[in-house]
Chain A
Amino acid sequence: MIIEYIPIFVVLIVAIGFAVATVLSSGIFGPQRPNSEKLSTYESGMTPVGSTNERVSVKYYLVAMLFIIFDIEVIFVYPWAVQFQNLFGEIGISAFISMFIFLVVLELGYLYVYKKGGFKWD
Chain B
Amino acid sequence: MSLIEILIITLIKILIILTLTLLTVSYLVYFERKISAWAQNRLGPNRVGWEGILQPFADVFKLLLKEDIVPNKANKVIHSLAPMVALFVAFTTYAVIPIGPNVQIFGYDISLVVADINIGILYVLALTSLGVYAITFAGWSSGSKYSLLGGIRSSAQMISYEISMGFSIAGVLLLSESLRPIAIVESQAGWMWNAVVQPIGFITFFVSAFAETNRLPFDLPEAEPELVGGFHTEYSSMKFAGFFLAEYANMIIASALITTLYLGGWQIPYIEKLGLADWLVTVFQVGSFFIKVGMLLFFFIWIRWSIPRFRYDQLMNIGWKVMFPLSLINLVWVAVLIMIFN
Pairwise interchain contact A27-B68, C-beta atoms closer than 8 A: yes
Known A26-B239, A107-B328; contact A15-B88, beta-carbon cutoff 8 A: yes
Q: Are A77 and B123 in contact (CB under 8 A)?
A: no
Q: Would A82 and B10 count as touching, CB distance under 8 A?
A: no
Q: Does A86 contact B117, Cβ atoms closer than 8 Å? A: no
Residue-by-residue, is B254-278 near A (CB-CB < 8 Å gives 1, otherwise 0)? 0000000000000000000000000
Q: Given B63, B84, B160, B336, which contacts A23 in the complex, CB threshold below 8 Å?
A: B84
- Once the chains are docked, how many angstroms separate the CA of A3 from the CA of B85? 26
A30 to B11, CA, bound (A): 31
Q: Is the CB of A91 closer than 8 A to any CB of chain B?
A: no
Bound Cα distance A88, B334 (Å): 13
Please classify how large the interface on chain A is, using the bins under 10, 10 to 19, 20 to 34, 35 or more.
35 or more
* Distance of B49 from chain A, by nearest CB (Å): 22
Contact between chains at A103 and B316 (CB < 8 Å): no
| B contacts with A: majority SS | helix
Task: Give, as a whole number of angstroms, the nearest-CB distance from B9 to chain A.
Answer: 9
Chain A residues with CB under 8 A of B84: 16, 19-20, 22-23
Binds A, one of B32-40, B161-169, B211-219, B284-292: B161-169
| Residues B10 and A52 in contact, CB atoms below 8 Å apart | no
Most buried by A among B18, B68, B118, B140: B68
* Interface size band for B: 35 or more
Chain A min CB distance to B198 (Å): 12
Of A41, A88, A114, the residue contacting B73 (CB under 8 A) is A41
* Residues B14 and A10 in contact, CB atoms below 8 Å apart: yes
B241 CB within 8 Å of chain A: yes
Cβ contact within 8 Å between A25 and B228: no
Whether B317 pairs with A119 at a CB distance below 8 angstroms is: yes
Is B331's CB within 8 Å of the partner chain A?
Answer: yes
List, in ascending order, chain A residues with CB within 8 A of B104's CB: none
Tell whether, in the assembled complex, residue B163 and residue A4 are in contact, meaning their CB atoms are under 8 Å apart. no
B83 and A8 contact, CB distance less than 8 A: no
User: Secondary structure at chain A's binding surface: helix, strand, loop or mixed?
Assistant: helix
The contact of B67 among A32, A36, A43, A85, by CB within 8 Å, is A32
Q: Which of A5, A19, A32, A71 contacts B87 (CB 8 A)?
A: A19
A85–B242 Cα gap in the complex (Å)? 44
Which of these, B10, B69, B166, contacts A34 with CB under 8 Å?
Answer: B69
Residues of B within 8 A of A4 (CB): 115-118
Instruction: Determine whether the beta carbon of B87 is less than 8 Å from that of A18.
Output: yes
B68 touches A26 (CB 8 A): yes
Known contacts A8-B117, A10-B14, A22-B87; is-contact A89 B316 (Cβ 8 Å): no
Is B66 interfacial (CB-CB < 8 Å)?
A: yes
List A residues 73-122 near B (Cβ within 8 Å): 74-75, 77-78, 81-86, 88-89, 93, 96, 99-100, 103, 107, 110, 114, 119, 121-122
Q: B residues bordering A, Cβ < 8 Å? A: 3, 6-7, 10-11, 13-14, 18, 63-73, 80, 83-85, 87-88, 91-92, 95, 114-118, 122-123, 140, 142-148, 152, 155-156, 159-160, 162-163, 166-167, 170-171, 173-174, 177-179, 228, 233-234, 236-239, 241-242, 245, 312-313, 316-317, 320-321, 324, 328, 331-332, 335-336, 338-339, 342
Q: List 27 A-B contacts (CB under 8 A).
A: A11-B10, A11-B95, A15-B88, A19-B85, A19-B87, A19-B88, A26-B64, A26-B66, A26-B241, A41-B73, A42-B71, A42-B144, A60-B155, A63-B156, A63-B159, A64-B159, A66-B320, A67-B159, A71-B162, A71-B163, A77-B331, A88-B339, A89-B342, A103-B328, A103-B332, A119-B320, A121-B316
> Which 8 pairs of residues, A with B, have the shortest CB-CB distance?
A26-B238, A74-B166, A26-B237, A7-B115, A121-B313, A19-B87, A81-B173, A26-B68
